[in-house]
Amino acid sequence: MPPEQTTVAIVGAGPAGLLLARLLHNAGVDCVVLESRDRAYVERRQRAGILEQATVDALRAAGAGERLDREGIPHDGIELRFGGRSHRVDFPSLAGGRRVMVYAQTEVVKDLIALQLADGGPLLFDTEVREVTGADTERPVVRYVHEGRERSLSCSYVVGCDGFHGVVKQAIPEAVRSTYERVYPYSWLGALAEAPPVYDELIYAHSSRGFALASMRSPTVSRLYLQVPNGTDPAEWPDERIWDELDARFALDAEPGWKLERGPVTAKSVLPMRSHVTEPMRHGRVLLAGDAAHIVPPTGAKGLNLAAADVIVLARALAEWHSTGSTERLDAYSDTCLRRVWRAEHFSYFMTTTLHADPAQSAFDTRLQLAQLERVATSPHAAAELAENYTGLPIRS
C-alpha cells in the first residue's frame, strides 16, 4: 500500500526528482516520489545530454557514477564554426581544469531509478497528482490517483519537480507568483541517428542558413540539431534533407570536402525555444525545482544542470532542517537558486541569440553576431567567460 505520510513528497521522476530522492535517502530523510508516466516512458524520454562537472560530481556522490564513468564521454571543449572557419574553445585551460561529460538524460534517469527501487523510498509510476493543498500549513497534502484509487499523502514539504506544466506550481498563489518569459522565433529540429560522430567534441555552427549543432550520445549514435521555423512538421524533413542541410551549415572554407558520417535517423522531433522563470521558487511548505521553476533554451546545455543544482541546494537545506531543526537554508533556497538561474538564463540567451539567425534580423545584426564570435575566438577573456559558464559555476548554498 502506498504510504499516507512522509517527510518529503516529490512530484516528478525526472532527473531533478530522482536525484533529490537519492540525496535525501543518503541523508536519512524519508521521501515518496510520484510520477504521472510509466517507467518505460520516463526511461526513454529524450532530453539533455551534457553534464557539468558539478552534476557529475553530485551523481557520483549519490552512488550513480559507476556506469556514467564507464560509458560517459568526457569533453574538454567545443568547436565554434562561423564565417567558413573553425575555432576551438578549450575548457580546462580557461575554466580552472573543469570539463563536461556527454551522458544522456535517459541513462541518468535509468541509473537513479535503479537505485531508488533497490533501496530508496517508494517510487510510484502511473500516478496522477490532482492537487497540492495546505502550502501554508505544517502538513501540506498531495492528492493523487494510483491504480484507479484516489489517495492522499501528508508530508512536511512538497517539492515540485514535475516540469513546466506541472501541478505543484499551482499551489503557489498567483498573487505571489511572478513569471518572466521570452519566446524565440525559431525552433530546433532534433535528429537521433545511428551514425558514428566524425568529431571529437560538440560543434556549434553559425551560418547564413541558420544554426546547427553536432552532438553525440555514444561512439555509434549522433545527436544532431537544425534551426527551423516555429511550427515545423518533422515529416517535412526526410533523412537525406537533414543530412544535406547539416553538411551545408557545417561547411568549412579550408575543408571543402568535410561531411558528417551518415546513417538512418531513428527519431525526429521539433523543440520550441523559450526562456522562462517563475519566482519565488518557494511558498510556505511548497518548493519548485528544475523545469517547474525555469526553462532555458538548450543552446547553453543548462537545463538538466540547473535542475541538478536546485536539488543539490535543496537537499542540503532539507538535511540541515531534518537534523537540527534550522530552516535558515530552506528560507534562503529561492534566492540562492535564482542567482544561479538568472546567470544561466543570461548565458543561454547569449548563446542562442549569437548563434541563431532571427528571421527578422538585418545584415547589421548578422555582422554583430560575427563580431561577437570573432571576439571569443581572439580574446582569452571572452573565451574564458564562455568556458566558465558552459562548464558550470560553483554551486553555493
Q: pLDDT tens digit string along 45-67?
A: 877 789 999 999 999 999 999 99
Alpha-carbon distance 99 to 53, whole Å? 6
Alpha-carbon distance 73 to 339, whole Å? 30
Alpha-carbon distance 204 to 206, whole Å? 7
Alpha-carbon distance 351 to 331, whole Å? 32
Helices (H) and strands (E) in the chain, counts: 11, 20
CA 317 to chain centre: 22
**54 and 163 within one domain:** yes
Per the structure, how many domains does the chain have? 2
- Residues 345, 279 contacting (CB under 8 angstroms): no
- Return the exposure string of 193-229: e unless at least 16 CB atoms fall within 10 Å of the residue's CB, then b: bebebeeebbbbbbbeebbbbbbbbbeebbbbbbbbe
**51 and 118 within one domain:** yes
Model pLDDT, residue 49:
84
Of 45-49, 159-163, 252-256, which one has max mean pLDDT? 159-163
| 242 is a domain residue | yes
Give the list of residues 6+ apart from residue 175 with CB closer than 8 angstroms, or none.
none
Is the pLDDT at 318 greater than 90? The verdict is: yes
**305 and 288 within one domain:** yes
Model pLDDT, residue 198:
86
**304 and 256 within one domain:** no
Is the pLDDT at 397 greater than 80? The verdict is: no
| 89 is a domain residue | no
**176 and 109 within one domain:** yes
- CATH assignment of the domain containing 310: 3.50.50.60
**173 and 142 within one domain:** yes
Comparing 199 with 240, which gets the higher pLDDT?
A: 240
Is the pLDDT at 120 greater than 80? The verdict is: yes
**Nearest one of 144, 138, 103 to 122, comparing CA atoms:** 144
| 3 is a domain residue | no
| 81 is a domain residue | no
Give the list of residues 6+ apart from residue 241 with CB closer than 8 angstroms, or none.
none
Model pLDDT, residue 267:
93
Model pLDDT, residue 234:
97
Q: To the nearest whole percent, how much of the chain has pLDDT over 90?
A: 94
Range with the lowest mean pLDDT among 41-55, 89-103, 218-232? Answer: 41-55
- Residues 24, 315 contacting (CB under 8 angstroms): yes
**254 and 109 within one domain:** no
**329 and 188 within one domain:** no
**262 and 123 within one domain:** no
Q: Which domain holds residue 233?
A: 184-273+358-391
- CATH assignment of the domain containing 238: 3.30.9.10
Is the pLDDT at 303 greater than 90? The verdict is: yes
Q: Please compute the mean of the pLDDT values over residues 272-300 and round it to a whole number.
A: 97
**136 and 216 within one domain:** no
| 2 is a domain residue | no
Q: Which residues are catalytic?
A: 75, 204, 298, 302, 390
